[in-house]
Amino acid sequence: MQHVLLIALGDFKARIMRYALTALAIGVGVALLVALMAVSDATRSYVEQTLLRVYPADIMMYSDSINIPLYLLDVLRKSPAVASAEGIIITTGVFNGKVVSIVGIPLRDVDYFAIDLIEGRLPSADGEAVVEESLGLKPGDVAIIKIYSGTIGGERTIQVRVVGVMRSFLKGFVGAFRLNLVVVPLDWLQRSLNTGPFVNTVLITAKNKAEVKALYTSLKETYTDAQVYTQESLLETVTKVFNALNVVFLVISSAALATAAITTFAVMSITVRERLREFGLLKAMGIPSRDIVLSVLAEVVIIALLAGIGGVAIGFYGANVVKQLLINMGVNFDVTITFRYTYAVTGFATSLGVAVIGALSPIRKIAQLRPLEIVQSWR
């Protein structure tokens, strides 16, 4: 085994620049893979945590029309399986050419909805509102919103006075989630829209998580006109979206890794060709083919380790650098990117796999060499 390592290290030193460039090619592919994994995991974690914070209920009932009576909440609250039931109105409107989402919530339970204030305060009286920062309003401003929605059967205009500004939902770093929320008192919105004692959304929290599925089934069968969702189903949707996104990331990374494998094949093929006479002499001296193959394989492993270390480090820190660059450019992408051991494991496994695949054919050629033929070919 000692002579195997001596042969490997001797050749590695002689061709260190060539092997360093090979490690760089593999490292770039690994870095891209790790960076995409880190960004995807950080974004997924942030989206899930945000959904859990702004949607604390286990079950949501939603109707396209504002037709869920408030007395239903009392019925639900009396159920032995229900811990709480909150009724709200969610509708849409237009302000300064922007589509806005208007949410009416009970003032007594305003803290339940985890409004993340930047400045100002929460609503405490009729006509007061907290708006998302994406609308460009500040406390004291007055906003006139036109509502065109099937939930109210026509057009309405409401005027609100901004008393607070909150951070954009999901910080707005995904355009599809720029909801432009306007939060107002529920009873005032009901009067303004002339809906009476009705809501179109009910958020329900179960006393026991084990009873959520049964409660969901019961509500879905009882209130057939409403759409019923569970918090778990929303999280499953998030997971499916990010799984699909990870497939796209994998395809992108695979292109770079395939290039690295081709580079490794080319480099190792040239190296083997240059060392044919050396290998023939070693075999003629009685050194088994296995040991020669192991010496070349050791070189490949060293290349893979260097590429893995560099790729994992550059990928992780590179993801943080890109995040900061996006923030400096005004893109809201302030998610926390944390290191996970799976990045190192995936990075090293990928690096080793690419290096071995690229070197497999040249190594096989070494194993099939016949010493006499090689020596004769060099006469």
pLDDT for residue 173 is more than 50: no
Residue 347, Cα to own-chain centre: how many angstroms?
18
Q: What is the pLDDT of residue 172?
A: 43
Q: What is the pLDDT of residues 114-139, one digit of tens each?
A: 677 889 998 888 999 999 888 989 99
> Residue 375: what are its φ and ψ, rounded to 5°?
-65, -40
**Which one has a higher pLDDT value, 221 or 175?**
221
Query: What residue segments make up the domains of the chain, in order of their start?
Result: 1-51+237-377, 64-225
Nearest to 128 by CA among 149, 107, 151: 107
Cα–Cα separations (whole angstroms), residue 58 to 64, 134, 195: 20, 28, 26
pLDDT for residue 175 is more than 70: no
- Of all residues in the chain, the percent with pLDDT exceeding 70 is 81
Q: What is the pTM of this model?
A: 0.65
For 209-224, letters b (16+ CB in 10 Å) and e give eebbeebbeebbeeee
d(CA 43, CA 241): 11
Nearest to 180 by CA among 111, 66, 91: 91
Q: What is the pLDDT of residues 263-282, one digit of tens each?
A: 888 887 877 777 767 776 77
